[in-house]
């Protein structure tokens, strides 16, 4: 590597502790201050900072991966066995399922390496190196730049730094901003593309409780899945090949079956996606009034259509399982966020900080010069956003992630341009070949009847909710021709469009016609709405710039105002650790939730007439026979437990570790009472919900009979 990577083990962030309570914060593991380390030791940590994160020696970070596009996983054997959540692998489980081989329902366990299932397109990434590049980036920036100039300069220097860090290697890298653009770090990764499915429990275990229990405690869910990472024979990353061998990791996590007790130290290490802990009261009110209600409404409508169809057909159930899960997850999240933000009066808490900030700014001439406009910039930006009547949220939910044919048609804009401009035949044919190769994938999980209903419903919502001056002109044509009857509109679209099914599209690609493409309703609507949305985004750009600038100065000012406070940057899919302790909580007056759930609760919730609470008969028998092996006691076995770790989306699949770095659980959810946690950590009620490691091993061993997997795991007894 041509660039020397410097790892900072002394804190830029870490000054004097507290003002922040111990278990709040998603901390950068390469910046562990001695005072922070001492606090963790007091709570039960027995590892050194270097044992958590080191470049030159094996450390915990070498067992942790980015799994796919938005989850965490961890290596739990010296043969590349990987543990993550069932819901993180859900799309892959669905892809391997069919009505004839329904592993969504039945589960899957590879009893030999040859039976492990390849997953084209799935990759995992290990963090290799980190460097603080703040000085290099800031040297190219100044506060007089507008957002476009600033972003261009950041891209320019970031591209250079990435090139220097990866030149002559198979590694990849990116530069990520921290504190809204006040600091920058270079992250270097090694990505492996041969990841095979090893074992997944049936959904009646992996998704037990379904949407009803999602984001709730108590839980009784075995939300885990096993994969294996493979490499070329020389240990380097490689695409799938029968010649590949299991990864030999720098570190793998031992799995403890000693059990958890209330007050035990717990640390989570993973890749949390995003938080907004510095969001202002104005931003919170905007979400409550202009974002959450419309997104909840649109997602509920999509779910009604999709779930109704899934209930009628096993084929549709399997095709739409992953889509339904993704839509439902954040439909309920938005509801919970709204309720928590209002119930806990989070906007008022934020307003108190803003008033403190304003008083500090106004007390000093230099601060007033630098930060005096910050709050007015926020106010002007959110007032500007309101003039667009939630268009961006409606467009995203109803159109861009609504009927599948819209996204498919948008992929044909290049072909239309090449044909319109009379490009060379070879260039046109290359584009046709590229599109042809994607047809099967695009229609694999598609049903024309479901999509037609989505089209009618989503177009009706868009037409109703978006003011006339913000809608594309094509809606006037729709209104005139179909008299506002969107079901009739959808019927004509899906009876004639080349995008309504794979056969139509393949027929078009075999004999492409510019006129046919340009006159196609789906292509016309997709193009008109996308261009209209792009124009609206351009109008909103001034407000985006105001918010970005105000955020940067606000966070910079907060750190100057309170230099003894320990600040942490918002999550941004970079590696973080969070620490806390196992324990229950009081969700409401006179109510207490214990810190564990057991197999007694699985039987109590069992309901053969409710698809979310079906329990496999073999699991019922094991529980009734108290056949828990070494994973339970004479009466029962722990299924899930909670700890007060600070997590968010992206932490799904993260290991929960004891003070010695052994895996004691697998993080998979947060709790309903603290759904505002992405914006404000709720000290008393925020909990991380985890599958107990013993329940995972029990399902692998006693339920699945996959004892060969148990034998390759390092178990701490």
Identify the CATH number of the domain in which residue 252 sits: 2.40.10.120
Residue 18 domain-assigned? no
Cα–Cα distance measured from residue 514 to residue 415, given in angstroms and rounded to the nearest whole number: 9
Residue 12 domain-assigned? no
Q: Would you state the pLDDT for residue 3?
A: 39
Residue 419 domain-assigned? yes
Please identify which of the residues 86, 87, 391, 533 carries the catalytic annotation.
87
Which of 399, 409, 385, 397 is closest to 529 using CA atoms?
399
403 by Cβ neighbours in 10 Å (0-12 / 13-18 / 19+) ranks as buried
For residues 656 and 666, is the Cβ–Cβ distance under 8 A? yes
Residue 153 domain-assigned? no
Residue partners of 463: CB distance under 8 A and separation at least 6: 471, 475, 478, 479, 484, 486
Q: Would you state the pLDDT for residue 18?
A: 37
Adjacent-strand bridge partners of 669: 689
Same domain, 385 and 450: yes
Residue partners of 575: CB distance under 8 A and separation at least 6: 28, 29, 61, 64, 127, 187, 269, 270, 271
Q: Would you state the pLDDT for residue 223?
A: 98
Same domain, 421 and 493: yes
Cα–Cα distance measured from residue 595 to residue 604, given in angstroms and rounded to the nearest whole number: 18
**Residue that terminates a domain, selected from 555, 578, 611:** 555
Q: Which domain holds residue 112?
A: 34-123+193-275+570-716
Please identify which of the residues 573, 652, 654, 676 carries the catalytic annotation.
652
223 labelled catalytic: yes
Same domain, 261 and 289: no
655: left (phi over 0), alpha (psi -120 to 50) or beta: beta
Which of 229, 225, 255 is closest to 85 using CA atoms?
225
Same domain, 265 and 299: no
Q: Which helix (H) or strand (E) element contains residue 464?
A: helix 448-465
Cβ-based neighbour number of residue 281 at 10 Å: 18
90, two tokens: 């859900």
Adjacent-strand bridge partners of 643: 582, 688
Please tell me what DSSP assigns to residue 624: H
Burial 91-114 (b: 16+ CB within 10 A, else e): bbbbbbbeeeebbbbebbbbeeee
**Residue that terminates a domain, selected from 555, 582, 611:** 555
611 labelled catalytic: no
Same domain, 686 and 626: yes
Same domain, 249 and 335: no
Residue 358 domain-assigned? yes
Q: Which helix (H) or strand (E) element contains residue 281?
A: helix 281-286
Same domain, 661 and 604: yes
**Residue that terminates a domain, selected from 555, 578, 606:** 555
Residues of the chain with pLDDT under 70: 1-22
DSSP line for 116-154: PBP-TT--EEEEEEEEE-HHHHHTT--TTS-HHHHHHHH
Q: Would you state the pLDDT for residue 33?
A: 85
Cis ω on the peptide bond leading into residue 218 (within 30° of 0)?
yes
Same domain, 352 and 453: yes
Q: Mapping DSSP to helix (H, G, I), strand (E, B) and coil, where does residue 259 land? A: coil
Q: Does the CA dihedral 643-644-647-648 come out positive or negative?
A: positive
Same domain, 594 and 464: no
Residue 270 domain-assigned? yes
Q: Mapping DSSP to helix (H, G, I), strand (E, B) and coil, where does residue 681 land? A: coil
Cα–Cα distance measured from residue 83 to residue 63, given in angstroms and rounded to the nearest whole number: 10
Please identify which of the residues 33, 132, 223, 646 carries the catalytic annotation.
223
The pTM (predicted TM-score) of the whole model is: 0.93
Strand 255-256 versus strand 715-716 pairing type: parallel
Same domain, 426 and 512: yes
Residue 27 domain-assigned? no
Cα–Cα distance measured from residue 432 to residue 28, given in angstroms and rounded to the nearest whole number: 46
Q: How many domains does the chain have?
A: 2
For residues 320 and 445, is the Cβ–Cβ distance under 8 A? yes
Residue 144 domain-assigned? no
Same domain, 534 and 480: yes
**C-alpha radius of gyration, the chain, whole number:** 26
Same domain, 325 and 383: yes
């Amino acid at each position: 590597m041509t660039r020397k990577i410097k790892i900072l083990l002394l804190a830029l962030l870490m000054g004097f502790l507290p003002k922040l309570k111990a278990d709040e914060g998603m901390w950068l593991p390469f910046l562990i201050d001695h005072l922070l380390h001492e606090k963790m030791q007091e709570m039960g940590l027995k590892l050194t900072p270097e044992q958590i994160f080191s470049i030159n020696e094996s450390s915990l970070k070498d067992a942790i991966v980015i799994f796919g596009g938005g989850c965490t996983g961890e290596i739990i054997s010296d043969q590349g066995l990987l543990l993550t959540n069932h819901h993180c692998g859900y799309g892959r489980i669905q892809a391997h399922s069919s009505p004839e081989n329904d592993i969504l329902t039945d589960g899957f366990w590879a009893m030999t390496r040859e039976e492990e299932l390849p997953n084209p397109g799935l990759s995992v990434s290990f963090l290799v190196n980190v460097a603080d590049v703040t000085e290099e980036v800031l040297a190219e920036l100044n506060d007089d730049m507008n957002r476009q100039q600033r972003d261009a300069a950041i891209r320019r220097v970031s591209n250079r730094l990435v090139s220097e860090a990866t030149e002559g290697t198979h590694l990849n890298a990116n530069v990520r901003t921290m504190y809204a653009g006040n600091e920058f770090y270079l992250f270097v990764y090694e990505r492996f593309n041969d990841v095979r499915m090893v074992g997944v429990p049936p959904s009646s275990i992996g998704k037990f409780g379904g949407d009803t229990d999602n984001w709730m405690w108590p839980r009784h869910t075995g939300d885990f899945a096993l994969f294996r990472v493979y490499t070329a024979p020389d240990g380097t990353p490689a695409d799938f090949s029968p010649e590949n061998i299991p990864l030999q990791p720098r570190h793998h996590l031992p799995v403890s079956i000693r059990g958890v007790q209330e007050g035990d130290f717990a640390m989570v290490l993973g890749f949390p996606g995003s938080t907004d802990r510095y969001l202002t009261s104005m931003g919170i009110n905007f979400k409550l009034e202009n974002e959450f209600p419309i997104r909840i409404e649109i997602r509920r409508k999509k779910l009604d259509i999709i779930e109704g169809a899934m209930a009628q057909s096993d084929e549709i159930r399997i095709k739409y399982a992953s889509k339904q899960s993704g839509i439902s997850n954040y439909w309920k999240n938005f509801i919970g966020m709204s309720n928590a933000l209002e119930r806990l009066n989070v906007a008022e808490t934020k307003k108190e900080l803003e008033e403190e900030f304003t008083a500090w700014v106004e007390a000093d001439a230099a601060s007033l010069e630098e930060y005096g406009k910050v709050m007015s910039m926020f106010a002007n930006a959110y007032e500007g956003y309101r003039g667009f009547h939630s268009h961006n949220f409606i467009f995203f939910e109803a159109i861009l992630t609504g009927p599948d044919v819209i996204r498919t048609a948008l992929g044909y804009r290049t072909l239309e341009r090449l044909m319109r401009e009379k490009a060379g035949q070879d260039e046109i044919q290359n584009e046709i070949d590229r599109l042809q190769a994607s047809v099967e994938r695009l229609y694999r999980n598609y049903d024309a009847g479901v999509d037609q209903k989505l089209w009618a419903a989503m177009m009706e919502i868009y037409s109703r909710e978006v003011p006339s001056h913000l809608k594309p002109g094509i809606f006037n044509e729709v209104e005139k021709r179909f008299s506002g009857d969107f079901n009739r509109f959808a019927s004509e679209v899906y009876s004639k469009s080349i995008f309504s099914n794979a056969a139509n599209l393949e027929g078009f690609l075999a004999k492409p016609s510019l006129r046919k493409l340009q006159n196609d309703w789906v292509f016309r609507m997709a193009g008109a709405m996308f261009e209209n949305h792009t124009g609206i985004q351009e109008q909103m750009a001034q407000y985006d710039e105001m918010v970005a600038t105000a955020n940067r100065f606000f966070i910079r000012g907060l750190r100057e105002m309170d230099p003894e406070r320990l600040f942490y940057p918002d999550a941004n899919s970079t590696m973080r650790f969070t620490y806390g302790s196992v324990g229950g909580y009081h969700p409401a007056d006179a109510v207490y939730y214990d810190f564990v759930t057991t197999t007694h609760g699985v039987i109590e919730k069992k309901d053969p007439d409710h698809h979310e609470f079906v329990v496999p008969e073999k699991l019922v028998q094991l529980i009734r026979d108290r056949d828990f092996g070494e994973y339970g006691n004479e009466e029962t076995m722990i299924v899930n437990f909670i700890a007060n770790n600070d997590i968010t989306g992206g932490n799904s699949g993260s290991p929960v570790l004891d003070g010695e770095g052994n895996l004691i659980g697998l993080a998979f959810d947060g709790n309903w009472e603290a759904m505002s946690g992405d914006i404000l950590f709720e000290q008393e009620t925020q909990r991380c919900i985890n599958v107990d490691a013993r329940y995972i091993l029990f399902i692998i061993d006693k339920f699945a009979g996959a004892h060969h997997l148990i034998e390759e795991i390092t178990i701490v007894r």
